[in-house]
Amino acid sequence: MKRKNRSSAAFSLVEVVVALGVVVFCLLTVLGLLAVGITTTHDSTAQTSATNILNAVAADVESTPNLTASYPPSSARGGIAETSAIYGITVPAKGTASTPTPRTIYIGEDSQVTSATSALYQLNVWTTGATATQQETLVRLLISWPAMASYTNAQGYVENVVAMNRD
């Protein structure tokens, strides 16, 4: 019997193995980039949340009543205090010489003050009162995460300085 000459339209085993190797290489590259993308997204989310909290704290500090050292103590002022309403940050009155005093406040998931064990962020506050040579009261705000790490060893941080003329 005569054999018909048919052309074979199939892939060889070598071609299939090479194609699978290229596909595996591409998938491994994409999976490696996926891990980097997830880490970057997580870091970006934490930094955005910290920046939003920092803005809220700065607004709270700026809304603190404008007092001077000649005013009577807060108990005689009918409850008006020189501390911020939400975060309880004491803002020195003008003419009150003070050195930067650090204070640590822990911030939870809901952006409110919480205990150290349930905090996501650590807010460090330094305040300096206005003097005869320095016209502004300075409040340095630094938010770092994770909350239990010192701000010098934190995974990330956001910092701002609020300068207020307390005249």
Q: With 0-12 CB in 10 A as exposed, 13-18 as middle and 19+ as buried, what is 114?
A: middle
Pairwise CA distance, residues 38 & 166, whole Å: 45
CA atoms within 13 A on the CB side of 18: 5
Quick check: 84 pLDDT over 50? yes
pLDDT of residue 69: 52
Residue 5 has pLDDT above 70, yes or no: no
**pTM for the whole thing?**
0.73
Q: Are the C-beta atoms of residues 156 and 46 closer than 8 Å to each other?
A: yes
Give CA–CA dist 48/79, Å, rounded: 35
Q: What's the rounded mean pLDDT across residues 63-89?
A: 66
Q: Give residue 64's pLDDT.
A: 83
- For position 37, what pLDDT does the model report? 93
Q: For residue 36, what is the enclosing H or E element?
A: helix 13-62
Contacts 24+ apart (CB under 8 A), 106-111: 106/147, 107/53, 107/143, 107/147, 111/49, 111/52, 111/53, 111/56
